[in-house]
Amino acid sequence: MHMKRWKFWLGVLISVVFLYFALKGLNLGDFWQAVKNANYWWILPGIAVYFIGVWVRAWRWHYLLRPMKKIPTRTMFPVTCIGYMGNNIYPARAGEVLRAVVLKRREQVPISASLATVIVERIFDGVVMLGFVFVNLPELAKVASFESGFVGNIQDLALIGTAIFLGVLLIFLLAAMFPKITARIGQWFIDRIIPHRLREKTSGIMLKFLDGLASLRSPVNVLMVFLTSVIIWLLETCKYWFVMHAFSFSVSFFALMLMNGIVNLATTIPSAPGYIGTFDAPGIAVLTAYGVEQSAAVGYTLVLHVALWLPITLLGAYFMAREGIKWDDSLRKETQVNVGKQESSTPPGAVEESK
């Protein structure tokens, strides 16, 4: 419990530091004018297109789970929304595990197998986000000063991130294609590292986890998941574009793709629940690099953050209540136990799914 409290306050501290740099030097009067004069009707089509993206996410998850159990997308959509609500309001990205727990309760899919598909989603999301960054670095270089180091730092981080994500993706693909060899290697480590009383249970978790990678055994499936991930993040960028029209500035769609990639990669940094600060500071930095006034950049980013956070959180809470699921002691304990398993198996820097 002490360790969990320590992690929570560390996240809060990181959020405060990011917010300090995001809001440093801000003219509150100009910021208020930018927010007050915004045309908030533009948020409505943004929310609509965002939920289309959430439906596509539910379809992608259904597709990844299909080798284990065929579950309709309409069944996966509420569970997906519940998971994103959990990510937004509970610490340690507990929503990722929460949706696996809810899916087990509803469809009897093993949590370990569900978490394997969740991690696969994260890896593909990370690859797409890094693609967004790389595709748009040349355009950013035209408007941002290299002397500031802004473009160079992003490029260096993108290269490191690409090596990590592609390396982890390769490991997962090999594990999926050669499950028996992977199981033998995993069992070798289990027999030498895990206490004897826990070996049988750990082996069972490992085998169920490998079952969750079954969809990666087909190149067609891998391509389908990748293309779906691209569509998901393009739809989310469309929301950025719609919300931008509520404000007085204008940047290209490609600039918003870059912003989307950077802020979602930044939200993998531990922070207070809701990605406070880690979402806002990088987004403001990207916009100001494109010449957007700080007050407009801050107003837009904060409004966008709320528009991304609030609708999915409310819908997820509604679905959770409709399903008769309560955040009681048993659900909390089940989720917290599996959060530790998820954190130990999640690759470093795995991108957090959309707010």
pLDDT digits (tens, 9 = 90+) for 226-278: 999 999 999 999 999 999 999 999 999 999 999 999 898 888 888 888 888 88
Contact 296, 320 (CB under 8 A): no
CA of residue 224 relative to chain centroid, distance: 19
Res. 344: pLDDT tops 50? no
pLDDT-derived band at 149 (thresholds 50, 70, 90) equals low
- Tell me: pLDDT of 299 over 60: yes
Residue 69 contacts residue 107 (beta carbons within 8 Å): yes
- Angstrom distance (rounded) from CA 260 to CA 234: 9
The sign of the CA dihedral 127, 132, 137, 138 is: positive
The answer to whether 32 and 287 have CB atoms below 8 angstroms apart is: no
Residue 216, pLDDT above cutoff 90: no
Residue range 146-159: average pLDDT? 59
Q: What is the pLDDT of residues 67-93, one digit of tens each?
A: 888 999 999 999 999 999 988 888 767
Whether the per-residue pLDDT at 148 is higher than 70: the answer is: no
Average pLDDT over residues 216-225: 89
Tens digits of residue pLDDT in 1-27: 455 677 777 878 888 888 888 888 888
pTM for this one?
A: 0.84
